[in-house]
A = this chain, B = another copy of it.
């Protein structure tokens, strides 16, 4: 591996050589390994045809049975971005980024065609269809992220768009059988607020072979990771926390869902029956 690649993998997996996987590097894998989330943007317009490029990349991702059960909603109006930022936990980067993409699971397009031809779509009411729409939107969005980074742009996913799902659906005029899976900000990263590569769990904790089996060293590996990520947050000038405590805090109380505990109800109102 090149020195640059070793440096990248150190940032991703920590300094200990034993947790650093041997990987194949080329221009594309290096770009993937280099991903970081960007939450501070320049007030600078995007290159021409950025949106078309990200959408073409997104549509090039696989789609279950080629259903293409998703749509892309591009928000550039400052006032709408501000309202969406307020609904999504006051994330100021939604206002700051020139482009805010909302990734929609969308079965309404298919339903409109079926209505015209008098076809009933009985399978739509099942949880699996909801899952297919959500997963296909995610595959598409991830391709768009990779494309955006290749243009020198930064992104961050906004899951908090589901905090106030009903209000977001109304703001965006979403018809039944459509819901926003998540948002994505797109813009030039502010070089005065650089972001770093976030360390992840060691591969040995995430990878299973043949059958699922948690490694005997899992708890110890996670303790080591907790120390790595606490050091990372400290370097970034953020409140020192570790992965376990953050994860527990995020999942301990229903209140930490910030409204997302209601998405099941709102989705049913949007005619996702989730059977």
Q: Residues of A with Cβ closer than 8 Å to B?
A: 9, 12-13, 21-24, 26-29, 31-35, 37, 47-53, 55-57, 59-68, 70-77, 80, 104, 108-110, 112-114, 116-117, 119-124, 126-129, 131-132, 134-135, 138-139, 141-143, 145-147, 149-151, 156-157, 159, 162, 171-175, 178, 181-182, 197-198, 200-201, 203, 205-214, 218-219, 222, 229, 243-244, 246-248, 250-254, 256-257, 260-261, 263-264, 267, 274-275
Contact indicator B128/A257 (Cβ below 8 Å): yes
- Is B110 in contact with A251, judged by CB distance below 8 angstroms? yes
Point out the residues of chain B lying under 8 angstroms from A205, CB to CB.
109
Nearest residue (CB) in B for A136 is B138
Contact status A60-B73, CB under 8 Å: no
Q: From known contacts A122-B252, A212-B71, A267-B127, infer whether A61 and B35 are also in contact, taking CB-CB under 8 Å.
A: yes
Please tell me which one of the listed residues B33, B129, B254 contacts residue A251 in the complex, with CB atoms under 8 A apart. B129
A23-B56, A123-B253, A264-B275 known; A212 and B109 CB under 8 Å?
Answer: no
Quick check: B21 and A126 within 8 Å, CB to CB? no
Cβ contacts under 8 Å, A218 to chain B = 109, 112
* Assembled-state Cα–Cα distance A178/B56 (Å): 33
Choose from B48, B67, B156, B203 the contact partner of A56 (Cβ within 8 Å): B203
Contact A174 B52 (CB under 8 A): no
10 closest residue pairs by CB, A with B? A28-B150, A138-B138, A142-B142, A128-B260, A21-B52, A173-B211, A127-B264, A121-B251, A32-B57, A23-B53
Task: Out of B172, B211, B263, name the residue touching A212 (CB < 8 Å).
Answer: B172
Other-chain contact of A24, B37, B50, B261 (Cβ < 8 Å):
B50
* Bound: A267/B274 CA distance, A: 12
Question: Do A62 and B145 have beta carbons less than 8 Å apart?
Answer: yes
- CA–CA, A195 and B219, complex, Å: 45
Decide: B113 and A222 in contact? CB cutoff 8 A.
yes
